[in-house]
């Protein structure tokens, strides 16, 4: 058994600790620990500038942001969504008493397939909740056209899409609302955290009230809001992280390029989010390289799970994001739309996917060890 430290699918990018002390001193001095303190305010402003969005509402995590986004738009009834995501996407619907309706994904992008959405719309449908899976933009134009036609809201689960651009602008401006996660495993993290991006001040005000118990002022409560607030310590860490995020994404892009080139000719392996020339430019990038998913097809000498186990034997902890499909979990599997024969593309991807380690501190020799193991030459 080797004594090496495991290599995880991701590791948070940590700025030097001494750079965090001044923020802590400031918090101690301010004695404002939460409820919209100065660092919270500053992070909202800096994120709006960095991301190129009009308004942002910070949250304690992405799941509370999803829950609140649905409430902000008063979504009810049925919502069309993808089964190929992290469970938080559909859980946010159940927590709001909404019925998820699963629709299959596109085989190339693994995002919700717009061509299949219309057939799933019923008189109860009020919204679509797509996911920019692994940070790859959905077909936002096609989704907008369907939403306009049927008068549906669109809430993007953009948990993976921090800093991603699409057709020359932030992908976070698509739809009615976009929801980010700043969890420790994400490209930009605040330990735990999340946000809702919206386009107008009125919606921001409503969301800000909903995340603070529905409070308007000392004597007025207008909605059964939740406590979704981000604390000052998380906001301060976000400000520090933001300084290094372009360098972190550039480091990820280099790793993605190495994987893409090394694995291009391995029979049976398909890179779902290959590195692309020019795609590291912060103004153009359609990817933040938050994940490096590969599909292990029938031409590969090992099954996906055998490759997963082989890597693990070498202390490389890859992850099968997103297996099992959300629709196969007990709270969803009896829904008519959850039947696996209606979701063949997502079901196949879930059986074949393996996310390889990618994070700025992954060193070249470890990455080559991973590549050698996938190539079968180690």
In the bound state with ligand T4K, the residue whose beta carbon lies nearer, of 13 and 286, is: 13
Q: By beta-carbon distance, which residue lies closest to ligand T4K?
A: 62
Closest CA to 116 of 143, 93, 96: 143
Q: Find tokens 């009615």 and name the residue.
A: 176
Residues in the site for ligand T4K, rule: CB under 6 A?
8-12, 61-63, 85-86, 88-89, 131, 157, 159-160, 181, 183-185, 194, 317, 321
Taking phi first (over 0 means left), then psi (-120 to 50 degrees means alpha), and beta for anything else, what does residue 236 get? Answer: alpha
Q: What are the tokens at 287?
A: 């990817």
- Output the smallest distance, CB 295 to ligand T4K, in A: 18
Closest CA to 163 of 253, 85, 298: 253
In the bound state with ligand T4K, the residue whose beta carbon lies nearer, of 139 and 375, is: 139
Ramachandran angles phi, psi of 86, nearest 5°: -80, 145
Contacts of 361 (CB under 8 A, 6+ apart): 11, 13
For residues 145, 149, 153, 159, the Cα torsion angle rounded to the nearest 10 degrees is: -20
- Output the smallest distance, CB 105 to ligand T4K, in A: 13
For residues 205, 172, 86, 285, the Cα torsion angle rounded to the nearest 10 degrees is: -150
- Output the smallest distance, CB 91 to ligand T4K, in A: 9
- Output the smallest distance, CB 298 to ligand T4K, in A: 26
- Output the smallest distance, CB 2 to ligand T4K, in A: 17
Ramachandran angles phi, psi of 165, nearest 5°: -110, 155
- Output the smallest distance, CB 20 to ligand T4K, in A: 16
In the bound state with ligand T4K, the residue whose beta carbon lies nearer, of 271 and 326, is: 326
Length of the chain: 378
- Output the smallest distance, CB 180 to ligand T4K, in A: 8
Between CA 271 and CA 252 the distance in angstroms is 15
**Count of CB atoms within 10 A of residue 21's CB?**
10
Alpha-carbon torsion 207, 208, 212, 218, what sign? negative
- Output the smallest distance, CB 361 to ligand T4K, in A: 10
- Output the smallest distance, CB 330 to ligand T4K, in A: 18
In the bound state with ligand T4K, the residue whose beta carbon lies nearer, of 155 and 266, is: 155
Alpha-carbon torsion 82, 173, 119, 353, what sign? negative
Q: What are the tokens at 311?
A: 């890597």
In the bound state with ligand T4K, the residue whose beta carbon lies nearer, of 96 and 205, is: 96
Q: Find tokens 């692309």 and name the residue.
A: 276
Closest CA to 162 of 135, 142, 139: 135
In the bound state with ligand T4K, the residue whose beta carbon lies nearer, of 163 and 194, is: 194
In the bound state with ligand T4K, the residue whose beta carbon lies nearer, of 37 and 62, is: 62
């Amino acid at each position: 058994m080797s004594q090496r430290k495991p290599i995880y699918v991701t590791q948070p990018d940590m700025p030097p600790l001494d750079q965090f002390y001044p923020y802590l001193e400031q918090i101690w001095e301010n004695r404002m620990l939460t409820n919209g303190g100065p660092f919270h305010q500053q992070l909202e402003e800096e994120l709006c500038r960095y991301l190129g969005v009009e308004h942002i509402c910070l949250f304690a995590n992405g799941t509370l942001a999803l829950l609140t986004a649905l409430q902000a738009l008063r979504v009810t009834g049925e919502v069309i969504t993808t089964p190929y995501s992290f469970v938080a996407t559909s859980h946010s619907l159940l927590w709001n008493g909404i019925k998820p309706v699963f629709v299959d994904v596109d085989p190339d992008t693994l995002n919700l397939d717009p061509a299949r959405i219309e057939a799933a719309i019923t008189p109860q449908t009020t919204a679509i909740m797509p996911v920019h899976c692994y940070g790859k933009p959905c077909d936002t134009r096609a989704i907008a056209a369907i939403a306009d036609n049927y008068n549906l809201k669109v809430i993007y689960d953009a948990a993976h899409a921090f800093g991603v651009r699409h057709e020359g602008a932030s992908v976070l401006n698509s739809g009615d609302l976009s929801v980010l996660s700043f969890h420790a495993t994400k490209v930009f993290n605040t330990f735990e955290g999340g946000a809702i991006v919206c386009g107008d001040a009125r919606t921001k005000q409503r969301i800000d009230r909903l995340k603070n118990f529905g409070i308007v002022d000392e004597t007025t409560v207008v909605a059964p809001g939740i406590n979704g607030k981000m604390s000052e310590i998380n906001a301060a860490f976000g400000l520090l992280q933001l300084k290094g995020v372009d360098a972190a994404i550039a480091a990820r892009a280099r790793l993605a390029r190495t994987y893409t080139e090394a694995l291009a000719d391995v029979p049976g392996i398909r890179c779902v989010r290959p590195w692309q020339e020019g795609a590291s430019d912060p103004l153009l990038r359609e990817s933040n390289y938050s994940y490096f998913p590969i599909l292990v097809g029938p031409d590969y000498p090992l099954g996906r799970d055998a490759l997963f186990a082989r890597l693990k034997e070498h202390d490389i902890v890859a992850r099968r994001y997103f297996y099992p499909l959300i629709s196969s979990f007990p709270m969803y599997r009896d829904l008519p739309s959850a039947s696996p024969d209606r979701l063949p593309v997502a079901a196949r991807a879930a059986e074949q996917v393996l996310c390889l380690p990618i994070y700025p501190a992954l060193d070249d020799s470890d990455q080559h060890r991973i590549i050698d193991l996938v190539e079968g030459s180690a």
